[in-house]
Structure 1
Amino acid sequence: MALRRDWVYENNGGTCVAIAGLDYCVVAADTRLSVGYSIYTRDHSKICKLADKCVLASSGFQGDMKALQKNLAARHLIYQHQHNKQMSCPAMARLLSNTLYYKRFFPYYTFNILGGLDDEGKGCVYTYDAVGSYERVGYSCQGTGGALIMPVLDNQLKSPSPLLLPARDAVTPLLESEAVDLIKRRFCISYRKGYLHWRQVRNHRHKCCGHSKRAYGSQEGLASVCCCCREAV
């Protein structure tokens, strides 16, 4: 099937996963950049640090991913100069929503997850659609591997219904180490199943918010990890 000449988008693949706990948030993504069966690089991070307590993980079209990251970084820099402080994760979530909605008629072809810590030190994960609608959840998965990972997260980490009263926090009961192990297992299983965008992932890269120096990963699965924890801020 021939592509339309006016089609400007390309899906470069990738999968992003995030889990929020009482005092931590773990965000992970693979490092493979490809189009179909053509591999551009196996060492490309899809996680961008926007603030000390906030990171953005994106998959989809690489050009739109970079444009969106630069846009948010520039707006955050302006915010720092005007208010002499860094933007909080909930504020960054709203900024990302407004940015995506502003581009709704020619949207960024990206699948985004924003993770970090809120003002109370609790982990928070925000999941988005293409035009900026978002929700705070305890866990999320975006990208080409969502069909393999999201059912397992739903089975083990199902969040309480937002209709329940009184409202409950959208955080998972897992410890930080348990959340990391769960993500590692899912990436490893997906790799062994021969999923298209993970088959050749071998390297792992660690990015961390704050000053924490812990590294997580597996040469068979987890490729990029960012861990926000209370000890690091």
Structure 2
Amino acid sequence: MFAYEQQQQSSCPVKAPVEHRFSPYTDNGGTTLAIAGDDFCVIAGDTRQSEGYSINTRYAPKVYQLSNGAVLATGGMYADGVTLVKMIEQRLEWYRHAHAKEMSCGALAQMLSTILYHKRMFPYYVWNTLGGLDEEGKGAVYSYDPVGNYEKHKWNCSGSAGHLVQPFLDNQIGFSHQREKPTLTMERVVQVTKDAFTSATERDIYTGDYLEMFLVTKEGIQKTLTDLKKD
């Protein structure tokens, strides 16, 4: 009997090992940007939420107003982004109860870095860009990696079309390698933002449907919604 089993086993072909893989993360696409001026800041993002070649919804905001002077643009995995925003809003509420005032944009930037670093072993699968007015009333943009490292910029773009839009901003906002550098007005920044997203939708299938913009000034925050390509 034993010899028969050995013969049967030796005659069977060798089976290749089967690999089973699971990832708790997914990328829901989309693009966000932020541009800081002398006394204002523009933060914008598209509203398409997709996965692969499927569109889950045409209106899933990626930009959130956190305080009277700070707006967060977050993208990547939508569920992680929503969870992160809820945590930040809870921390801001605690701060208002403890200090009877709004947290400044600079302090919020540091707090966000701490929250992301606390989750570094199982990070939020999102990119983040924080925009607003600093303590001097000037526009400020902070960009983050998933584990909390951050840097202050004048402009930044992230997301599925980030590699397309960032060089455009370097040229039109930073005036790289240009002799003339015109004054950066809010009207120009708004127009450049619209042009950037209009162009991105022609090349990136994960960006589209609507453009949501937040204009931050010392008078407050204004929100606008603009149509984008929907195919």
Q: TM-score, normalised on structure 1? A: 0.81
Decide whether aligned partners of structure 1 residues 63 and 111 sit closer, same or farther in structure 2, where only a CA change above 3 A counts.
same
Q: Which amino acid aligns with 1:17?
A: L
Residue 213 of structure 1 and its aligned partner are, at CA, apart by 7.8
User: Can you give the 5+ residue segments of structure 1 that lack an aligned partner in the other structure?
Assistant: 161-171, 222-233
- Give the alignment partner of residue 42 of structure 2, picking from 14, 22, 26: 26
Is the 8 Å Cα contact of residues 15 and 146 (structure 1) preserved in structure 2?
Answer: yes
Secondary structure of the structure 1 residue equivalent to 2:227: coil
One of 176, 194, 210 as aligned partner of 1:184: 194
Secondary structure of the corresponding residue to residue 121 of structure 2: coil
Superposed, 1:1-233 pairs within 5 Å as: 5-158=21-174, 173-193=183-203, 195-198=204-207, 201-205=208-212, 216=224, 218-220=226-228
- Output the amino acid matched with 2:59: D
Q: Could you tell me how far apart the structure 2 residues matched to 1:213 and 1:83 are?
A: 22
| Contact 1:180–1:216 (Cα < 8 Å) also in 2 | no
TM-aligned CA distance change 1:215 to 1:59, over 3 Å? closer
CA distance in 1, matches of 2:226, 2:73: 19
Q: 1:136 to 1:48 in 2, by over 3 A?
A: same
Instruction: Check the 8 A contact 1:47/1:58 in 2, yes or no.
Output: yes
Paired AA for residue 209 in structure 2: R
**Distance in structure 1 (CA, Å) of the matches to 2:114 and 2:20:** 30
Q: Percent identity?
A: 41
**Matched residue of 1:51: which SS?**
coil
Larger radius of gyration: 2
Pairwise CA RMSD: 2.4
Q: Relative to structure 1, is the Cα distance of residues 118 and 83 closer, same or farther in structure 2, using a 3 angstrom cutoff? A: same
Change (3 A) 1:83 1:215: closer
1:73 Cα deviation (Å)? Answer: 0.4
Is the CA contact 2:28–2:76 (under 8 Å) kept in the aligned structure 1?
yes
Q: CA deviation at 1:98?
A: 0.5
The secondary structure found in structure 2 opposite 1:92 is helix
Contact 2:209/2:227, CA 8 A, preserved across alignment: yes
Q: How many Å apart are 1:204 and its aligned residue? A: 4.4
By how many angstroms is 1:220 displaced?
A: 2.7
How far residue 217 of structure 1 moved from its aligned partner, in angstroms, is 5.1
Asked if 2 retains the 8 angstrom alpha-carbon contact of 1:23 and 1:123, the reply is: yes
Instruction: Quote the offset at 1:190 in angstroms.
Output: 1.5
Contact 2:144 / 2:150 at 8 angstroms: preserved in 1?
yes
Give 1:219 shift: 2.0
The Cα offsets for residues 96-148 of structure 1, whole Å up to 9 and x where unpaired, read as 00111111111000000000111111111000111111011000011111110
Question: Which residue identity does 2:189 align to in structure 1?
Answer: A
**8 Å Cα contact 1:55/1:116 also seen in 2:** yes
Cα distance between partner residues in 1 of 2:221 and 2:136: 22
Does the 8 Å CA contact 1:21/1:173 hold for their aligned counterparts?
no
Q: So what's the TM-score if we normalise by structure 2? A: 0.81
